[in-house]
Amino acid sequence: MTDGLKVVHYLNQFFGGIGGEEHANTPFQVKIGPVGPGNALQQILGDRAEVVATFICGDNYFVEEAASGARDASAALEEIKPDVVIAGPAFDAGRYGVAAAQMCIIAKSAGIPAVTAMHPDNVGYTTLRSDLVCLPTGTRASEMQDALSRMADLALRLGNGEQLGPASKEGYLPTGLRKAIVREKPAWERAIDMLEARVADEDYSSEVLIQQYETVPPPMPVADLSSITLGLVTSGGLVPRGNPDRQMSGNAQQAFKYSIEGITELALDEWESVHGGFNTKYLNTKNPNYVLPLPVLRQLEDAGVIGSIYPNFFSTVGNGTAVTNAKRMGAEIAREFKDAGVTAALLVAT
């Protein structure tokens, strides 16, 4: 017994000593004290903390039977009341990474801090990072000692109620959240320092790490255009003249739906663009169809090339639009299209 913190360690079926892939459906279970690598963890922790229990669960079970896995884990946490949970390390094992991440999230929602570790490409981190304290590892279990050691450090601090500093300083992987800070040198000086470091081939840290937008796999192509309904969307800011719905010229919150039933072209005296990010003169004094080519589409519809055009089009303004709002608008439009049997869409972007 120690006076230190109480730690729960989460392991999968393999590191928990049950078996390999064939035991991936092992249900959630609790063992007293450390198991397997948990012993090394206990050595590292010394008398600062005690691994009072080890949660072991098959990767498939914890992820596929998520509800019951979560229930069992929550119940066990409720009973044991650890100060901190350590999950993994999962290295590059994808399902283990997801399970470890989920374990951390369950702990977090029970008010218990948690730390995990895995390779930065592990899908457990890439999909769930916003709720995780996750340390980076390589791909090999031979790095176990190093990973456990770093996890132990952060776990002790978290278990003692400490707030962690920025990712680059503490060594954990970014969650996606960025916070305002004040640096010691002005930006111009940091820029010159960074340039000199690069030119001299020295280490440097970029203040922004390039991030990718999520990839959406492109859907299968349309087999027969003449049988489909085509949906139309524009981010060119088209609105009925007078802007009755008061669409914003920047930072739009909504996409508005307008009827084009029976209309073969958008008439100049009936439509305008309120987009604030480019010169809308051509749209407003010559031809609004430049950002929604309705005349051509109607011709193709009449000729039977396209089955039909969905009677409403969606219009928003792509100017300083917050990503979260854009995602939401896209999902709402997609839902309406899907419900209405629209299977392909044209988005005119400006």
Partner 1 sequence: MQLEMGTFPVASIEFAEETAWDDGNLRINREELLGLILRQGDLEWADIDITSPGDSVRLVNLKDLYEIKSKVDGPGTVYPGVFGRSVETVGQGRTHRMGGVAVGLLVDDEHLTAGERAWPHEGGNQKKSEQSRTHARFIDMSGPGNLSPYNSLNLLCLTIYAPADLNHEDRYTALRTAVLRVIDRLAETIADQTAPESEVFNTDVENPDLPGYVFIPHLASGEWQAEAGPRSNFGAAIYGQTRLSSPWMLYPTEMMDGAVMGTYMLGRPASWQLSNSPIVAELSRRHGKTCNFLGCLIQRTNWTTQPEKEMAAERAALMAKRLGAAGAIVTTDLRGQRFLETALTVQACERQGIDTILLTEEEDNEFGTAPPLLVSFPEVTSIVSSGTGGVEEPFPAVERVIGSRDPSDEWLQELPAIHGSYGSSYLADYYGFGYNSFEDF
Partner 2 sequence: MIPFAAKAGRIVRGMRVEHVCGDPNLSEENDARLARRIVDTALRALQTEVDGPTVFDPAEETASAT
Nearer to partner 2, 200 or 349 (CB): 349
Q: Left (φ > 0), alpha (ψ -120 to 50) or beta: where does 333 sit?
A: alpha
160 binds, among partner 2, partner 1, none (CB under 5 to 8 A by kind): none
**DSSP letter, residue 317:** B
CB 170, CB 162: distance < 8 Å: no
Assess 180 for contact with partner 1 (CB under 8 A). Answer: yes
Near partner 2 by CB under 8 A: residue from 163, 205, 212, 324: 212
CB 53, CB 82: distance < 8 Å: yes
Assess 322 for contact with partner 1 (CB under 8 A). Answer: yes
Near partner 1 by CB under 8 A: residue from 43, 109, 127, 130: 130
Assess 287 for contact with partner 1 (CB under 8 A). Answer: no
48 binds, among partner 2, partner 1, none (CB under 5 to 8 A by kind): none
Q: Which amino acid is at 298?
A: R
179 binds, among partner 1, partner 2, none (CB under 5 to 8 A by kind): partner 1
Which of 308, 290, 339, 338 shows the shortest CA–CA distance to 230?
308
* Beta-ladder partners of 10: 55, 87
Near partner 2 by CB under 8 A: residue from 76, 225, 263, 334: 225
Near partner 2 by CB under 8 A: residue from 81, 286, 335, 338: 286
178 binds, among partner 2, partner 1, none (CB under 5 to 8 A by kind): partner 1
Assess 334 for contact with partner 2 (CB under 8 A). Answer: no
Number of amino acids touching partner 1 (CB under 8 A): 63
Assess 349 for contact with partner 1 (CB under 8 A). Answer: no
Q: Count how many Cα atoms sit within 13 Å of the Cα of residue 8 in the half-sphere of its side chain.
A: 26
Which of 314, 273, 269 shows the shortest CA–CA distance to 290?
273
Assess 212 for contact with partner 1 (CB under 8 A). Answer: yes
* Beta-ladder partners of 271: 240
How far apart CA 342 and CA 302 sit, in angstroms, is 18
Assess 217 for contact with partner 2 (CB under 8 A). Answer: yes
How, if at all, do strands 256-259 and 308-315 pair? antiparallel
Which of 164, 7, 194, 200 shows the shortest CA–CA distance to 85?
7
Task: Give the nearest distance from C-beta 196 to partner 1 in angstroms.
Answer: 7
Stretch near partner 1 under the rule CB under 8 A, chosen from 74-82, 142-150, 187-195, 300-308: 187-195
Nearer to partner 2, 163 or 324 (CB): 324
Return the structure tokens found at 266.
């958008």
Residue 22: helix, strand or coil by DSSP? helix
Torsion from C-alpha of 306, 308, 312, 314, nearest 10 degrees:
-20
Stretch near partner 2 under the rule CB under 8 A, chosen from 137-145, 170-178, 179-187, 301-309: 301-309
Please report, as residue ranges, which positions from 22 to 61 form the binding site for partner 1 (by CB under 8 A).
Answer: none
CB 5, CB 84: distance < 8 Å: yes
How far apart CA 259 and CA 314 sit, in angstroms, is 9
320 binds, among partner 2, partner 1, none (CB under 5 to 8 A by kind): partner 1
Nearer to partner 1, 111 or 186 (CB): 186
Chain centroid to CA 290: how far? Answer: 35
Nearer to partner 1, 203 or 339 (CB): 203
Q: Binding string to partner 2 for residues 261 to 280, with x set by CB under 8 A, is what?
A: -----------------xxx
Please report, as residue ranges, which positions from 260 to 279 form the binding site for partner 1 (by CB under 8 A).
Answer: 272-279
Q: Which amino acid is at 51?
A: V
Q: Which amino acid is at 279?
A: N
Site for partner 2, rule CB under 8 A: 212-223, 225, 236, 278-283, 286-287, 289-293, 295-297, 299-300, 303, 305-306, 344, 346, 348-350
